[in-house]
Protein backbone atom coordinates (compact mmCIF):
# COMPACT_ATOMS: atom_id res chain seq x y z
CA UNK A 1 0.00 0.00 0.00
CA UNK A 2 1.11 3.55 -0.70
CA UNK A 3 2.32 5.54 2.30
CA UNK A 4 1.44 9.17 3.01
CA UNK A 5 2.67 12.02 5.18
CA UNK A 6 -0.17 14.42 5.95
CA UNK A 7 -1.07 17.07 8.49
CA UNK A 8 -4.39 16.30 10.18
CA UNK A 9 -6.49 18.70 12.24
CA UNK A 10 -7.67 17.55 15.66
CA UNK A 11 -11.46 17.70 15.29
CA UNK A 12 -12.17 16.24 18.72
CA UNK A 13 -10.27 15.23 21.83
CA UNK A 14 -11.90 12.89 24.33
CA UNK A 15 -10.31 12.20 27.70
CA UNK A 16 -11.15 8.62 28.72
CA UNK A 17 -9.26 8.53 32.02
CA UNK A 18 -6.08 9.82 33.62
CA UNK A 19 -4.12 7.44 31.36
CA UNK A 20 -6.03 7.40 28.07
CA UNK A 21 -7.40 9.86 25.53
CA UNK A 22 -8.79 9.69 21.98
CA UNK A 23 -7.85 12.06 19.18
CA UNK A 24 -10.30 12.30 16.27
CA UNK A 25 -8.30 13.62 13.32
CA UNK A 26 -9.76 15.28 10.24
CA UNK A 27 -7.96 14.60 6.97
CA UNK A 28 -7.27 17.63 4.72
CA UNK A 29 -8.87 15.99 1.67
CA UNK A 30 -10.12 12.42 1.21
CA UNK A 31 -8.68 9.66 3.36
CA UNK A 32 -6.86 6.91 1.47
CA UNK A 33 -7.62 3.29 2.29
CA UNK A 34 -6.60 2.28 5.81
CA UNK A 35 -6.91 -1.32 7.01
CA UNK A 36 -7.84 -2.37 10.55
CA UNK A 37 -4.73 -3.34 12.49
CA UNK A 38 -2.46 -0.88 10.70
CA UNK A 39 -0.75 1.96 12.56
CA UNK A 40 0.59 5.48 12.11
CA UNK A 41 3.80 7.25 13.08
CA UNK A 42 2.96 10.51 14.88
CA UNK A 43 5.28 13.51 14.97
CA UNK A 44 5.73 14.94 18.47
CA UNK A 45 6.37 18.68 18.45
CA UNK A 46 7.21 20.93 21.35
CA UNK A 47 9.43 18.58 23.36
CA UNK A 48 13.17 18.82 22.76
CA UNK A 49 13.70 15.42 24.39
CA UNK A 50 11.54 13.61 21.83
CA UNK A 51 13.24 13.04 18.49
CA UNK A 52 11.40 10.13 16.91
CA UNK A 53 7.81 9.77 15.81
CA UNK A 54 5.60 7.59 17.99
CA UNK A 55 3.82 4.48 16.59
CA UNK A 56 0.12 4.40 17.46
CA UNK A 57 -2.53 1.93 16.29
CA UNK A 58 -5.39 3.15 14.15
CA UNK A 59 -8.33 3.10 16.53
CA UNK A 60 -11.11 3.88 14.07
CA UNK A 61 -11.77 5.27 10.61
CA UNK A 62 -15.01 7.03 9.71
CA UNK A 63 -15.10 7.33 5.92
CA UNK A 64 -18.31 9.40 5.89
CA UNK A 65 -16.83 12.04 8.19
CA UNK A 66 -13.32 11.64 6.73
CA UNK A 67 -11.74 11.10 10.15
CA UNK A 68 -9.12 8.80 11.62
CA UNK A 69 -9.04 8.21 15.38
CA UNK A 70 -6.19 7.29 17.72
CA UNK A 71 -6.52 5.89 21.24
CA UNK A 72 -3.42 7.03 23.13
CA UNK A 73 -2.08 5.79 26.45
CA UNK A 74 0.14 8.21 28.36
CA UNK A 75 3.30 6.24 29.07
CA UNK A 76 6.25 8.61 28.50
CA UNK A 77 7.46 11.98 27.31
CA UNK A 78 6.10 11.63 23.78
CA UNK A 79 2.56 10.61 24.70
CA UNK A 80 2.53 13.13 27.56
CA UNK A 81 3.28 15.87 25.03
CA UNK A 82 0.55 14.55 22.74
CA UNK A 83 -1.91 14.65 25.65
CA UNK A 84 -1.47 18.44 25.77
CA UNK A 85 -2.79 18.93 22.24
CA UNK A 86 -6.09 20.77 21.80
CA UNK A 87 -8.91 20.69 19.27
CA UNK A 88 -7.86 22.68 16.23
CA UNK A 89 -4.18 21.77 16.56
CA UNK A 90 -2.33 20.11 13.68
CA UNK A 91 -0.76 16.66 13.85
CA UNK A 92 1.57 15.10 11.27
CA UNK A 93 1.13 11.39 10.49
CA UNK A 94 3.00 8.88 8.38
CA UNK A 95 0.40 6.28 7.41
CA UNK A 96 -0.95 3.67 6.82
CA UNK A 97 1.83 1.41 8.08
CA UNK A 98 2.15 -2.33 8.61
CA UNK A 99 0.03 -5.36 7.84
CA UNK A 100 -3.54 -5.33 9.12
CA UNK A 101 -6.15 -7.91 10.12
CA UNK A 102 -7.65 -10.11 7.42
CA UNK A 103 -11.27 -9.50 8.62
CA UNK A 104 -12.28 -13.05 7.71
CA UNK A 105 -14.66 -15.50 9.33
CA UNK A 106 -18.40 -15.63 9.92
CA UNK A 107 -18.29 -15.85 13.72
CA UNK A 108 -15.14 -14.09 14.95
CA UNK A 109 -14.01 -13.31 18.48
CA UNK A 110 -11.95 -10.15 19.02
CA UNK A 111 -9.95 -10.09 22.28
CA UNK A 112 -8.29 -6.96 23.62
CA UNK A 113 -6.46 -6.06 26.81
CA UNK A 114 -5.62 -2.54 27.99
CA UNK A 115 -4.49 -0.28 25.16
CA UNK A 116 -4.42 -3.39 22.98
CA UNK A 117 -8.13 -2.97 22.41
CA UNK A 118 -7.36 0.15 20.31
CA UNK A 119 -7.27 -1.49 16.83
CA UNK A 120 -10.25 -3.73 17.56
CA UNK A 121 -12.85 -0.96 17.25
CA UNK A 122 -12.05 -0.40 13.57
CA UNK A 123 -11.85 -4.17 13.06
CA UNK A 124 -15.34 -4.53 14.54
CA UNK A 125 -16.60 -1.73 12.28
CA UNK A 126 -15.13 -3.48 9.22
CA UNK A 127 -16.73 -6.79 10.19
CA UNK A 128 -20.04 -4.99 10.63
CA UNK A 129 -19.73 -3.49 7.16
CA UNK A 130 -19.45 -7.08 5.85
CA UNK A 131 -22.67 -8.05 7.63
CA UNK A 132 -20.87 -9.88 10.47
CA UNK A 133 -21.44 -8.97 14.12
CA UNK A 134 -18.38 -10.23 16.05
CA UNK A 135 -18.05 -11.05 19.73
CA UNK A 136 -15.65 -8.62 21.42
CA UNK A 137 -14.05 -9.44 24.76
CA UNK A 138 -12.28 -6.59 26.58
CA UNK A 139 -10.12 -7.24 29.62
CA UNK A 140 -8.05 -5.47 32.24
CA UNK A 141 -6.98 -5.70 35.85
CA UNK A 142 -9.78 -3.28 36.81
CA UNK A 143 -12.66 -1.55 35.06
CA UNK A 144 -10.73 1.73 35.12
CA UNK A 145 -8.05 0.14 32.92
CA UNK A 146 -10.51 -0.59 30.12
CA UNK A 147 -10.49 2.85 28.47
CA UNK A 148 -13.49 2.47 26.16
CA UNK A 149 -16.60 0.41 26.70
CA UNK A 150 -19.68 1.63 24.81
CA UNK A 151 -18.06 2.42 21.46
CA UNK A 152 -18.17 -1.22 20.34
CA UNK A 153 -21.90 -1.71 20.88
CA UNK A 154 -23.08 -0.55 17.42
CA UNK A 155 -20.84 -3.14 15.75
CA UNK A 156 -20.42 -6.08 18.13
CA UNK A 157 -21.58 -8.17 21.06
CA UNK A 158 -19.42 -6.86 23.91
CA UNK A 159 -18.15 -8.81 26.93
CA UNK A 160 -15.82 -7.82 29.76
CA UNK A 161 -13.39 -9.55 32.09
CA UNK A 162 -11.53 -7.91 34.98
CA UNK A 163 -9.16 -9.54 37.43
CA UNK A 164 -10.83 -7.83 40.40
CA UNK A 165 -14.40 -8.43 39.19
CA UNK A 166 -15.19 -4.71 38.92
CA UNK A 167 -16.64 -5.17 35.41
CA UNK A 168 -17.98 -8.28 33.72
CA UNK A 169 -16.62 -11.68 34.65
CA UNK A 170 -13.96 -11.94 37.34
CA UNK A 171 -10.69 -13.44 36.12
CA UNK A 172 -8.44 -13.47 33.08
CA UNK A 173 -9.90 -12.97 29.61
CA UNK A 174 -9.12 -16.57 28.68
CA UNK A 175 -11.36 -17.73 31.55
CA UNK A 176 -14.40 -15.89 30.16
CA UNK A 177 -17.39 -18.08 29.16
CA UNK A 178 -17.50 -16.47 25.70
CA UNK A 179 -14.67 -18.84 24.77
CA UNK A 180 -17.20 -21.68 25.11
CA UNK A 181 -19.09 -20.30 22.10
CA UNK A 182 -18.30 -21.53 18.61
CA UNK A 183 -15.92 -19.14 16.82
CA UNK A 184 -14.19 -19.66 13.48
CA UNK A 185 -11.55 -16.95 13.97
CA UNK A 186 -9.89 -15.18 16.90
CA UNK A 187 -8.16 -11.82 16.77
CA UNK A 188 -6.11 -10.65 19.76
CA UNK A 189 -4.18 -7.56 20.74
CA UNK A 190 -2.84 -6.69 24.18
CA UNK A 191 -0.19 -7.77 26.67
CA UNK A 192 2.03 -10.60 25.44
CA UNK A 193 0.98 -13.10 28.17
CA UNK A 194 -2.66 -12.59 27.20
CA UNK A 195 -2.01 -13.00 23.47
CA UNK A 196 0.12 -16.08 24.03
CA UNK A 197 -2.63 -17.69 26.11
CA UNK A 198 -5.20 -16.87 23.41
CA UNK A 199 -2.89 -18.22 20.70
CA UNK A 200 -2.40 -21.49 22.60
CA UNK A 201 -6.15 -21.87 23.06
CA UNK A 202 -6.76 -21.24 19.35
CA UNK A 203 -4.12 -23.78 18.41
CA UNK A 204 -5.62 -26.42 20.72
CA UNK A 205 -9.08 -25.85 19.24
CA UNK A 206 -7.77 -25.53 15.66
CA UNK A 207 -9.23 -22.04 15.28
CA UNK A 208 -7.60 -19.53 12.92
CA UNK A 209 -5.98 -16.81 15.03
CA UNK A 210 -4.28 -13.49 14.36
CA UNK A 211 -2.36 -11.52 16.96
CA UNK A 212 -1.03 -7.97 16.80
CA UNK A 213 2.43 -7.64 18.33
CA UNK A 214 3.41 -4.47 20.18
CA UNK A 215 7.20 -4.46 19.76
CA UNK A 216 8.98 -1.11 20.03
CA UNK A 217 8.92 0.50 16.57
CA UNK A 218 11.00 3.55 15.67
CA UNK A 219 10.96 4.01 11.90
CA UNK A 220 7.77 2.19 10.92
CA UNK A 221 9.19 1.05 7.55
CA UNK A 222 11.58 -1.78 8.45
CA UNK A 223 14.81 0.20 8.25
CA UNK A 224 16.00 0.45 11.86
CA UNK A 225 15.41 -3.26 12.75
CA UNK A 226 14.61 -2.48 16.40
CA UNK A 227 11.23 -4.27 16.23
CA UNK A 228 12.38 -7.65 14.89
CA UNK A 229 10.46 -10.70 16.12
CA UNK A 230 11.66 -14.31 15.96
CA UNK A 231 9.00 -16.21 14.03
CA UNK A 232 8.84 -19.72 12.60
CA UNK A 233 9.58 -18.16 9.21
CA UNK A 234 12.67 -16.32 10.41
CA UNK A 235 13.25 -12.86 11.80
CA UNK A 236 10.47 -10.46 10.80
CA UNK A 237 10.17 -6.69 11.18
CA UNK A 238 6.99 -6.17 13.16
CA UNK A 239 6.47 -2.69 11.72
CA UNK A 240 6.58 -3.88 8.10
CA UNK A 241 5.67 -7.58 8.03
CA UNK A 242 3.35 -7.18 11.01
CA UNK A 243 2.18 -5.99 13.43
CA UNK A 244 -0.50 -8.59 12.65
CA UNK A 245 0.75 -12.17 12.38
CA UNK A 246 -0.86 -15.57 11.98
CA UNK A 247 -0.47 -17.15 15.42
CA UNK A 248 0.61 -20.43 13.77
CA UNK A 249 3.77 -18.65 12.58
CA UNK A 250 4.66 -17.57 16.12
CA UNK A 251 5.33 -20.75 18.05
CA UNK A 252 8.84 -19.46 18.82
CA UNK A 253 7.34 -16.22 20.08
CA UNK A 254 4.73 -18.01 22.18
CA UNK A 255 7.37 -20.17 23.85
CA UNK A 256 9.32 -17.15 25.17
What CATH number did the domain enclosing 191 receive? Answer: 3.40.50.80
* Boundary of a domain, candidates 97, 120, 136: 97
The 3 state secondary structure assigned to the chain is CCCEEEEEEEEEEEECCCCEEEEEEECCCCCCCCCCCCEEEECCCCCCCCCCCEEEEEEEEECCCCEEEEEEECCCHHHHHHCCCCCCCEEEEEEEECECCCCCCCCEEEEEEHHHHCCHHHHHHHHHHCCCCCEEEEEECCHHHCCCCCCCCCCCEEEEEECCCCCCEECCHHHCHHHHCCCCEEEEECCHHHHHHHHHHHHHHCCEEEEECCCCCCCCCCCCCCCEEEECCEEEEHHHHCEEEEHHHCHHHHHC
* Boundary of a domain, candidates 75, 97, 119: 97
**20, part of any domain:** yes
pLDDT attached to residue 220: 67
128 and 198 part of one domain: yes
Query: What pTM does this model have?
Result: 0.94
**180, part of any domain:** yes
**199, part of any domain:** yes
92 and 116 part of one domain: no
* Domain of residue 70, residue span: 4-97
208 and 153 part of one domain: yes
Domain count, the chain: 2
**228, part of any domain:** no
140 and 201 part of one domain: yes
**251, part of any domain:** no
181 and 89 part of one domain: no
CATH code of residue 38: 2.40.30.10
116 and 201 part of one domain: yes
121 and 169 part of one domain: yes
117 and 198 part of one domain: yes
pLDDT attached to residue 57: 95
10-residue averages of pLDDT along the chain (256 residues): 93 93 93 95 87 92 95 93 95 95 96 92 97 96 90 96 94 93 95 92 94 77 74 82 90 67
pLDDT attached to residue 230: 79
**153, part of any domain:** yes
131 and 169 part of one domain: yes
**244, part of any domain:** no
113 and 84 part of one domain: no
**230, part of any domain:** no
pLDDT attached to residue 61: 97
pLDDT attached to residue 254: 64
pLDDT attached to residue 8: 97
Among 110, 92, 76, 1, smallest CA distance to 40 is for 92
Amino acid sequence: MKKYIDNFIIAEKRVCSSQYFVLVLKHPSKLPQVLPGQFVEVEVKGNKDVYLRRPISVHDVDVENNTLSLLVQIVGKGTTTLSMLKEGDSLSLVYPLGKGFSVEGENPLLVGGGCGLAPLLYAARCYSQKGVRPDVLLGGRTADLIPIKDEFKPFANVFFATEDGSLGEKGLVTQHPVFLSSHDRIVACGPNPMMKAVARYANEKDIACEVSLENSMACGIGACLCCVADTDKGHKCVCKEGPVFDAKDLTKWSQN
